[in-house]
A and B are shown apart, each in its own frame.
Chain A
Amino acid sequence: MQKKMAYSFPDEVLEHVFSFIQSDKDRNAVSLVCKSWYEIERWCRRKVFIGNCYAVSPRMVIRRFPEVRSIELKGKPHFADFNLVPDGWGGYVLPWIAEMAGAYPWLEEIRLKRMVVTDESLELIAKSFKNFKVLVLFSCEGFSTDGLAAIAASCKNLRELDLRESEVDDLSGHWLAHFPETYTSLVSLNISCLGSDEVSFSALERLVGRCPNLRSLRLNRAVTLDKIASILRRAPLLVDFGTGNYAAELQPDVFSNLAGAFSSCKELKSLSGFWDVVPAYLPALYSICPRLTSLNLSYATIQSPDLIKLVSYCPRLQRLLVLDYIEDSGLEELASSCKDLQELRVFPSDPFGAEPNVSLTEQGLVAVSLGCPKLQSVLYFCRRMSNAALVTIAQNCPNLTRFRLCIIEPKTPDYLTLEPLDVGFGAIVEHCKDLRRLSLSGLLTDHVFEYIGTYGKKLEMLSVAFAGDSDLGLHHVLSGCESLRKLEIRDCPFGDKALLANAAKLETMRSLWMSSCAVSFGACKLLGQKMPKLNVEVIDETEPPDSRPESCPVDKLYIYRSVAGPRFDMPPFVWTMDEAVKILH
């Protein structure tokens, strides 16, 4: 038989076809088909996502993908959000910016999460990328408003500046004035994290007024309620708006001005902000409530009756973030009014109080599960739970993809039966076949991990605290959860056996975090020596791990796969177990 040519498409055609393939997974699959597809694909990949900045080096990325326009990087482990990762751990973006400045002069988008970003990095971005359009700094730190001033002054084509939840050294509200008068391309601005008492409001007003494409604007707490109207009137096409503090003495003209300004924003679908809410001003929102799909009231310290009223006017709500002031009664109202609800997050108003300060229990969540068939994503802080409630929730909401439950007191049992909550969480993983993310709490034995290992086949991220009895628990998860990418564990009696027996599994995951568990220093060393493609890092702020016997447990352990080898920017309290680098750093 005659062998045909492998294909008859010229490269340009293939490249054109590939340009319709956006997802990373698909792109990766394409690159594995054959050598020439690998080559063509790598030259036309425009977007790169790096879930762990230490998994690969900037040079490697640049070498493989020379024409990147958009990059997303994540740095610190998730538990850094809760102060479990000491300051100075790492996650510096500067080396990336420095390499990309030379290699990607046409870079347009940088999205960072949990990384350390300095003013120097921001200044380098400002001067290196002539067509820079999007900067998202999600939970980042290390920079000041000086760095922002550099971005504002130089990035003529900037469309998006989003500082969500970042820690910014706020030196001067004046940075906003660095956007030149000729700059008009802003589409999205999120400065809600800024603490400054003086965001230069006049500069903000002028900026908003001259940017006709502005669709998303989130102000910071310092901006007062009386200023909202003038901002909104300058941006009537806003789709997403975050207020500053929502408090003022009730004055009829201020109120009617505000209400009028809101109602003139016909496209507004999403609201947030709402610090220091004065309930009398909530009715100013009523005209836009019917259109709202997303509402973040998680800073609004208002009581249940006001919350109930507001929520009852929002039948199209898909996403609600709220404090537990909403109480069970408010959640029941939510369940009857908001049939399109997909995501609910309930935060605690008094997380460290010994006694409940509000009447929010498992009943509220059960009510929502019953009333809102489209519910997919839950984050719920409460003080009591029962297996029966969890089973009901699981049966009502088989489409859950994210379920994070935090029962505030560790190891709290089922309040009705005093049993562990194994069966309840078991029902969640069994019924919710598409569950991708799960956070556990309450009293839990190894049994819950058996259920998770058996049923959690699509589970990608699991967070565990104060749970389990033995290594078997960890073993069930590592051996059963086929899709597991991120596992984070604190204060559980999991030790060496399960970890070493499942060492190969760790290479299929992005990362594993274990703190206050029972993994010995010896096991860490063994793992580091045997698994060259894993970076095994021990964190100990008190003293070097090798100053104690090898059988002693390590304080914190972070293991992640990497093709870049051990990192060289480790602070003194982080030790790599890599054999090639002696157990020093």
Chain B
Amino acid sequence: MAFEKDLNLDATELRLGLPGTSDESAKNQTLATLRSNNKRALPEESMSSNATASKNCDQETAPLPKAQVVGWPPIRSYRKNNLQPKKSEGEISGIYVKVSMDGAPYLRKIDLKVFKGYPELLKALEDMFKFKAGEYSEREGYNGSEFVPTYEDKDGDWMLVGDVPWEMFTNSCKKLRIMKGSEARGLGCVD
């Protein structure tokens, strides 16, 4: 294959303007200025010399270290992630428990670690399932509410959310269930 060694730009007559147009503003920008203004330094080069493009641009993008070129090599993120061994449950920080609500067709899951205490948890549950739990009191539980948050603990017992200290709760809660108020009567009452 014989290609000319020097590629004569004049011969190809590249113009700035679109074919058939004679755009004055386009003609004013010469080849030379454009090349020197717009030749952007590639990441590797920019480490050794300042980018010439910075002359005309107020902002100079910081040179990227070689190892961190975005999107290179071109591998999809799920592939990169899949090369890691599957983490066992214990290693994932976060206490995920299922949440069900009587009458709702879908289960949800929440991370108890995200909340600092009961008020936050209840607010999140109320937002998620669109209900109001009402006021909690130690003596009467969630008196008068249509829906009551309960949980199943390590022993398999169903308890009222709020009865035990928060840390004890997050350590022992296996799943949450938002029960109809009528069914919840009897929970949390110690006879």
Contacts and interface: CB of A to CB of B under 8 A. Distances in A.
A12 interface: no
A491 B70 CA distance: 11
B65 to A, nearest CB: 12
A36 B150 CA distance: 69
A313 to B, nearest CB: 25
B190 interface: no
Interface string A391-412: 0000000000000001010110
Given A149-B105, A500-B17, A553-B38, A197 B72 contact: no
Contact of B38 (A347, A352, A463, A551): A551
A530 interface: yes
A349 interface: yes
A153 B105 CA distance: 11
Nearest to B53: A553
A245 B3 contact: no
Interface stretch (A15-23, A211-219, A332-340, A542-550): A542-550
A492 to B, nearest CB: 9
B7 interface: yes
Given A81-B76, A542-B59, A551-B56, A495 B19 contact: no
B40 A475 contact: no
Interface in A258-292: 275-276
Given A172-B98, A491-B42, A553-B53, A497 B14 contact: yes
B67 interface: yes
A190 interface: no
Contact of A83 (B37, B70, B106): B70
Nearest to A153: B105
Interface stretch (B77-85, B113-121, B138-146, B181-189): B77-85
A221 interface: yes
Nearest to B33: A551
B74 interface: yes
Nearest to A149: B106
A496 interface: yes
Given A347-B79, A497-B31, A504-B19, A520 B38 contact: yes
Contacts of B40: 493, 516-518, 553
B39 A174 contact: no
Interface residues of A, number: 75
Interface string A479-511: 000000000001101011110110110000000
Contacts of A240: none
B74 A299 contact: no
A165 B78 contact: yes
Interface in B31-52: 31, 33-35, 37-40, 42-44
A414 interface: no
Given A171-B109, A299-B82, A542-B59, A530 B18 contact: yes
Q: Which of B58, B82, B107 has the most CB of A within 10 A?
A: B107
A490 B43 CA distance: 12
B109 A172 contact: yes
Contacts of B164: none
Interface majority SS on A: helix, strand, loop or mixed?
mixed
A116 to B, nearest CB: 16
A442 interface: no
B42 A447 contact: no
Contact of A82 (B59, B67, B76, B82): B76
B18 A548 contact: no
B73 interface: yes
Contacts of B67: 352, 354
Q: Which of A408, A426, A430, A551 has the most CB of B within 10 A?
A: A551
A366 to B, nearest CB: 21
Given A172-B98, A504-B19, A549 B83 contact: no
Contact of B3 (A153, A354, A450, A551): A450
A243 interface: no
A82 B109 contact: no
Contacts of A199: none
Given A406-B73, A530-B18, A551-B37, A245 B86 contact: yes
Contacts of B98: 172
A362 interface: no
Contacts of B75: 82, 347-348, 351, 381
A465 B72 contact: yes
Contacts of B168: none
B86 A275 contact: yes
Given A276-B86, A406-B74, 8 more contacts: A149-B106, A245-B86, A410-B72, A439-B74, A472-B9, A500-B17, A530-B18, A552-B57
22 contacts: A82-B70, A82-B75, A83-B70, A84-B71, A165-B76, A171-B106, A221-B82, A275-B86, A276-B85, A347-B75, A450-B3, A463-B74, A465-B72, A472-B7, A491-B43, A493-B42, A495-B34, A497-B34, A500-B16, A518-B38, A552-B57, A553-B40
3 A-B pairs closest in CB distance: A82-B71, A518-B38, A552-B57
Interface of B: 1, 3, 7, 9, 12, 14-19, 21, 23, 26, 29, 31, 33-35, 37-40, 42-44, 53, 56-59, 67, 69-80, 82-83, 85-86, 89, 98, 105-109
